Amino acid sequence: MSFHVKVAIVGAGISGLSAAWELYKLGIESLVVLEANSRVGGRTLNHPLVSGGYVEHGGTWAGPTHTALLALAKEMGVSIKKGKLEGQTFYGFRQKWTMLEASPTSESDIAQKDFAQAMITFEALCRTVPVEAPWQAPNANILDSMTMGAWIEQNTTTDEARAWFEGCVRQILSGDPNKVSLLWMLHFVHTAGFNDLLETAEDFCFVGGTQQIALNIAERLGERVLLNAPVTKISGYDGSPVELFCERGIVFAQEVIVAMMPKTVARIQFHPPLPPIHHQLIAEWETMSWIKFHAIYEKPWWQGQIVSGHFLSIDTKLRRSISRRKMGVKVSLLDC
C-alpha cells in the first residue's frame, strides 16, 4: 500500500489527534494519522471493571488552567465532572504526617518559612519568563544552563524544605529535578501556575474517561486514522515529499508531524539523520518509572470523614493516593 497526503501525523495520542483535528478544521482533509498500537489514545486508557464502570490507567485529571484540553473536550462533547473528593490531604515526610497544605511538617517552623520563601522567589522568577518566548527571559542562557535541582539547593537552607520542594517538582513533572533545565521548568510552571499544578490540577476529570476525547476525535477523522501502523523510517524530511515507512506501506506526505514521547522517537530511523543536538536530546531523554495502580474496595469507607482519603508522601515509594468519589476506588502512584 502506498498513498499521498498533504500531512502525515505519527502517533494517535491526544497530541497527534488534536493536531489532525485542527488541520482538518482548517480544510486540510488530505491527512493521515499513523498509530503503532491497535487503539487510539496513547497514554490515556480506560480499563473496564467487572463490577461495572471503569478505571483510567493513564492521564485522568485536568485543572482550571488546562484550558486547551478543557476546550477540546467540550468541542468533542465530553463533559467534565469533579475530579477528586473534597477534604483534607495528609502530607507525609520522615514518617511525620500533617494536614497543612503542601508544606513541611508543622513541627518545623524554620523549614516552613524556608519553603515558603523559596516558593515566593521561584514564583517571582517564573513571572520573568515570557510564556510565548521563554528564550527572551532575562538571563535565559544562564537559567537554561542550570538545573531545577541546583536552584532548589541554592535557594533553601533546610533539608526539610529542600526535600519538599524537590518532592513537589517530582510530583508535577514525574521527573528528576536534577535533570531538568531551570528555564524549562520556569516556563512550564508559568503556563499554569505552581499552585495550580500542585493543588488544582486534579479538580476535574472527564465523563467516560480522558481516552474518550481521543476516541471522539478519531471517530470524526474516520479512515484518516490508521491503526497497527508503526512508523519505522522517515526519509527526506528536509524536502518534499517526505516518505514514511510503516508496516502497512509507504506514505508520501508534504509535511510531517511526529507527536510521540521524545524518547520513543529515537526508535524511528531518520534519513538524513536528525541534527546532532536533536538526536542527543531524544537519545538522552529520561523518564521516571512510576506505576499507577487502583485499589478497589467494596465501599468508599473514607466518605463522610474529615479527611478525603488523599495523601502525598515525599520520601516513600508510595507517593500519592487519591480517592474517587462514587466508587470505592483509590488511585495510587508507586515510584520505582
Residue 7's nearest CA partner among 198, 252, 180 is 252
Secondary structure class of 267 (helix, strand, coil): coil
Of the residues 5, 7, 9, 12, which one makes contact with ligand FAD according to CB under 6 A: 12
300 neighbors 331 (Cβ within 8 angstroms) = no
Residues near ligand FAD (CB under 6 A), total:
28
- C-beta of 113 vs 179, nearer to ligand FAD: 179
CB atoms within 10 A of CB 128: 13
Residues whose CB is less than 8 angstroms from the CB of residue 120 and which lie 6 or more positions away in sequence, other chains included:
none
36 binds ligand FAD (CB under 6 A): yes
Question: Which of 198, 215, 219, 218 lies closest to 207, judged by CA?
Answer: 215
Who's near 7: CB < 8 A, 6+ residues apart? 20, 23, 28, 30, 31, 32, 253, 254, 255, 256, 257
Print the binding letters for residues 192-231 with ligand FAD: x by CB under 6 A, - otherwise.
--------------------------------------xx
Query: Which residue's CB is nearer to ligand FAD, number 154 or number 287?
Result: 287
What are the cell numbers at 234?
A: 522517515
Task: Please tell me whether residue 30 binds ligand FAD under the rule CB under 6 A.
Answer: no
Counting contacts by CB under 6 A, is residue 37 touching ligand FAD? yes
The three cell numbers of residue 295 are 485499589
Of 7, 35, 118, 156, the residue at the interface with ligand FAD (CB under 6 A) is 35
Closer of 161 and 168 to ligand FAD (Cβ): 168
Residue 72 in the binding site for ligand FAD (CB under 6 A)? no
Q: At what angle do helices 211-221 and 14-25 cross, to 10 degrees?
A: 40
Based on the shown chain and the rule CB under 6 A, indicate whether residue 170 belongs to the binding site for ligand FAD. Answer: no
Stretch binding ligand FAD (CB under 6 A), from 102-110, 118-126, 255-263, 319-327: 255-263
Q: Is 10 in the site for ligand FAD (CB under 6 A)?
A: yes
Among 9, 11, 126, 149, interactor with ligand FAD by CB under 6 A: 11
Nearer to ligand FAD, 20 or 314 (CB): 20
Closest by CA to 94, choosing from 104, 85, 86, is: 104
Residues in Cβ contact with 44 at an 8 Å cutoff, skipping those fewer than 6 apart:
13, 14, 56, 58, 59, 60, 209, 210, 211, 213, 214
Beta pairing class for 31-34 and 225-226: parallel
When the beta carbons of 14 and 129 are compared against ligand FAD, the nearer one is 14
CB of 21 to ligand FAD, least distance (A): 12
Q: Which residue has the cell 470523614?
A: 305
Pick the closer one to ligand FAD by CB: 109 or 223: 223
User: With binding defined as CB under 6 A, does residue 260 bind ligand FAD?
Assistant: yes
CB of 111 or CB of 218, closer to ligand FAD: 218
166 lies in the binding site for ligand FAD (CB under 6 A): no
Task: Say which residues have a Cβ less than 8 Å from residue 241's Cβ, sequence separation at least 6.
Answer: 4, 252, 253, 254
Q: Find the shortest distance in angstroms from Cβ 107 to ligand FAD.
A: 31
Helix (H/G/I), strand (E/B), else coil: 88: strand
Tell me the residue type at 290.
W
Other CB atoms within a 10 A radius of the CB of residue 318 amount to 13
Measured on CA atoms in the order 188, 191, 194, 199, is the torsion positive or negative?
negative
Specify the stretch interacting with ligand FAD by CB under 6 A; choose among 29-37, 90-98, 114-122, 297-305: 29-37
Q: Least distance in Å: CB of 167 to ligand FAD? A: 17
Contact between 149 and ligand FAD by CB under 6 A: the answer reads no
Q: Does 321 bind ligand FAD (CB under 6 A)?
A: no
Instruction: Please identify which residue in 42, 167, 209, 309 interacts with ligand FAD, judged by CB under 6 A.
Output: 42
Residues that bind ligand FAD (CB under 6 A): 10-16, 34-37, 42-44, 58-62, 230-231, 259-261, 264, 267-268, 292
